[in-house]
Amino acid sequence: MAQAMMLQTPAAGAAPARHGWWSFETAPGQSVDMIQEQFRMIFEAAGSPNGAALFCNHVLLERPTLLFTPDAATVARPFVEALGGAPCDDPPAGIFLVGNDGDRDLLPVPELTRPVTGQ
């Protein structure tokens, strides 16, 4: 006899679902420019695919967090993992670093007076 499936609804205040973004918090003094250029080389070698973009949460922090779109994490998975990157929730905003011009709109630009939180 077939049994009815029970639908589960998320509990109030439950954490948002992750959708494939990856993040990496830089170490003090670690060069974001060098990581950005390494990712740019991987991105270009992969044919500059749409949606494979790199963002950061703030440019003035001592330890900015780099944000890799799901497509960027796929294209550069060994690189992202070697950095110590990990899956994260969808970021609320970010500053565009590498990608195609159309990828700039994947995240809204944060207020630059305070860092983006919630990664």
* pLDDT of 89 over the 70 cut: yes
Percent of the chain, pLDDT > 90?
A: 65
* pLDDT of 86 over the 90 cut: yes
Res 76: pLDDT: 97
Q: Which two tokens stand for residue 83?
A: 């950095």
Q: Which two tokens stand for residue 106?
A: 């994947």
* pLDDT of 55 over the 90 cut: yes
Name the average pLDDT for the chain.
83
Percent of the chain, pLDDT > 70?
A: 77
Q: What residue ranges do the domains of the chain occupy?
A: 21-106
Read off the pLDDT of residues 102-111 as tens digits, 9 standing for 90 and up. 999 999 988 7
Number of continuous H segments (helices) and E segments (strands) in the chain? 3, 5
The count of C-alpha atoms lying within 13 angstroms of the C-alpha of 58, restricted to the half-sphere facing its C-beta, is 15
Which one-letter amino acid corresponds to residue 47?
A: G
User: How many residues would you count in the chain?
Assistant: 119
The residue ranges of DSSP E strands in 2-119, in sequence order, are 21-25, 54-56, 65-68, 86-88, 95-98
The reported pTM is: 0.77
Answer for the pair 65, 119: CB distance below 8 angstroms, yes or no.
Answer: yes
